[in-house]
């Protein structure tokens, strides 16, 4: 099959550079274009060099519309306003739009839903293949084991992380809640301190550790009477999100227009 021609939007960002590398290094795709914000100082520089690789002979551009000509898809890890503006342009050409941008609000989701009428949108706040498979395992385990099994989610991240629990811990909590058929918002326990009382059946607890340079560790403990399951994922570098995004784009190439998630990419969606 012909290599998939991919555009990296937000190429100068931390994720953008990793996306450039992931596209250049994947033999199934080709870097069609690399788009940076208007007036960026890096305009005209080589995308391969920016990714720390040999020259790719693709100059950084700020012209998204021109970049889309001849492309098959866009990898977009930018900001909500950039994503929402790009969505109709990408969809008008019927292309694949992989959206890794987080912090999307209702109007942004609306723009993506409209775009999904003609384009193929894959949106996920976590494009890690491993984390999404883990979420599927957690959902399955929670569905099969009753509320008498206690679910606790332990995460550890580097000392600079400012939010807690991590988005991934919450994603895993949502998967557990979904498996149990309950709303996480009603059963999550974010902190325990002092005389916190005994654990309530059905609660989903979170514990957050911070220190050093840990990219992201998550362990889901499912504890029953006399036995315990531990499902763990350890992220070693942020490139995994970029590689997951490339996998999503390659998968979406063969799909009908619509809005998809990583569970679809991995074939984890039930029913
Ligand atoms: P970043 O700030 O380093 O990168 C964003 C880039 O977008 C910047 O280089 C900025 O100049 C560029 N940009 C802004 N306006 C633009 C425009 N009009 N055209 C082209 N580029 C433009 O941030 P980051 O750490 O790379 O993260 C980017 C996004 O990806 C965030 O929302 C982050 O939370 C998300 N993220 C998602 C995942 C995931 O798995 N889905 C993983 C990591 C990060």
Ligand 1 pocket: which of 7, 10, 20, 68 to mutate (most atoms <8 Å of CB)? 10
- Residue from 27, 124, 122, 116 nearest 74 by CA: 122
The C-alpha atoms of residue 88 and residue 6 are separated, in whole angstroms, by 17
Output the CA 267–ligand 1 centroid distance in Å. 27
pLDDT tens per residue across span 203-213: 999 999 999 99
Contacts of 18 (CB under 8 A, 6+ apart): 51, 238, 239, 241, 242
Quick one: pLDDT band at residue 175, thresholds 50, 70, 90?
Answer: very high
Separation of alpha carbons 253 and 96, rounded Å: 6
pLDDT value of position 232? 98
pLDDT of 190 > 70? The answer is yes
Query: 121, 87 in Cβ contact below 8 A?
Result: yes
Q: 177-188 pLDDT, tens per residue? A: 999 999 999 999
Token code pair at residue 93: 């050409």
Q: What is the pLDDT of residues 37-84, one digit of tens each?
A: 999 999 999 999 999 999 999 999 999 999 999 999 999 999 999 999
Tell me, using a 6 A CB cutoff, whether residue 79 lines ligand 1. yes
Nearest C-alpha neighbor of 204 from the set 180, 228, 226, 225: 180
pLDDT at residue 39 in the model: 93
Q: Which two tokens stand for residue 209?
A: 């550790």
**Best of 8, 11, 16, 98 to mutate for ligand 1, by most ligand atoms within 8 A of CB?**
16
Task: Give the model's confidence band at 271: pLDDT under 50 very low, under 70 low, under 90 confident, else very high.
Answer: very low
Active site residues: 157, 161
From ligand 1's centre to the CA of 15, what distance in Å?
Answer: 6
Q: Where do the H-state alpha helices sit in the chain?
A: 14-25, 47-50, 64-68, 80-92, 106-115, 129-144, 167-180, 184-187, 239-252, 262-265
What is the band of 103 on the pLDDT scale with cuts at 50, 70, 90? confident
Query: What ligand 1 atom has the least distance to the C-alpha of 64?
Result: 19
**Mean pLDDT across the stretch 182-203?**
94
Q: Provide, rounded to the nearest whole percent, the portion of the chain with pLDDT above 90.
A: 93
SS3 content of the chain, % helix, strand, coil (to 5): 35, 25, 40
Token pair recorded at residue 112: 């993506």
Mean residue pLDDT of the chain comes to 95
User: Is 262 touching ligand 1 by the criterion CB < 6 Å?
Assistant: no
Residue 99 has pLDDT above 60, yes or no: yes
Region 211-229 average pLDDT: 97
In the prediction, which pLDDT does 162 show?
A: 86
Token pair of 26 as six digits: 């994947």
Q: Which atom of ligand 1 is nearest to the CA of 102?
A: 32
Name the residue of 60, 61, 79, 130 to mutate for ligand 1: max ligand atoms within 8 A of Cβ: 79
Distance in Å, CA 143 to ligand 1 centroid: 35
Query: How many other C-beta atoms lie within 10 A of the C-beta of residue 220?
Result: 26
Q: For residue 192, what are the contacts with CB-CB under 8 A and spacing of at least 6?
A: 205
102 within ligand 1 shell (Cβ under 6 A): yes
Per-residue model confidence (pLDDT) at position 270: 55
Q: Atom 16, ligand 1: which residue's CA is nearest?
A: 37
Burial class (CB in 10 A: 0-12, 13-18, 19+), 256: exposed
Query: Residue 77: CB within 6 Å of ligand 1?
Result: yes
């Amino acid at each position: 099959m012909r290599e998939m021609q991919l555009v990296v939007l937000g190429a100068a960002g931390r994720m953008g550079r990793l996306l450039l590398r992931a596209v250049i290094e994947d033999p199934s795709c080709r870097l069609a274009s690399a788009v940076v914000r208007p007036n960026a100082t890096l305009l005209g520089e080589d995308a391969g060099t920016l990714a720390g690789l040999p020259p790719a002979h693709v100059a950084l551009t700020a012209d998204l519309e021109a970049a889309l000509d001849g492309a098959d898809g866009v990898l977009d890890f930018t900001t909500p306003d950039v994503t929402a503006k790009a969505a109709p342009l990408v969809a008008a050409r019927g292309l694949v739009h992989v959206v890794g941008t987080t912090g999307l609000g209702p109007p942004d989701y609306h723009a993506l839903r409209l775009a999904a009428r003609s384009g193929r949108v894959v949106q996920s706040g976590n494009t890690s293949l491993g984390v999404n498979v883990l979420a599927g395992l957690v959902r399955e385990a929670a569905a099969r084991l009753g509320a008498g099994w206690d679910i606790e989610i332990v995460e550890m991240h580097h000392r600079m992380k400012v939010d807690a629990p991590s988005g991934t811990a919450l994603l895993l909590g949502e998967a557990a809640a979904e498996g149990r058929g309950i709303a996480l918002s009603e059963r999550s326990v974010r902190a325990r301190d002092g005389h916190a009382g005994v654990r309530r059946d059905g609660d989903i607890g979170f514990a957050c550790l911070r220190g050093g340079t840990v990219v992201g560790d998550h362990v889901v403990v499912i504890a029953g009477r006399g036995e315990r399951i531990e499902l763990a994922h350890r992220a070693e570098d942020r490139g995994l999100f970029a590689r997951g995004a490339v996998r999503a784009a390659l998968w979406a190439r063969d799909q009908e227009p619509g809005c998809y998630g990583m569970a679809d990419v991995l074939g984890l969606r039930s029913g």
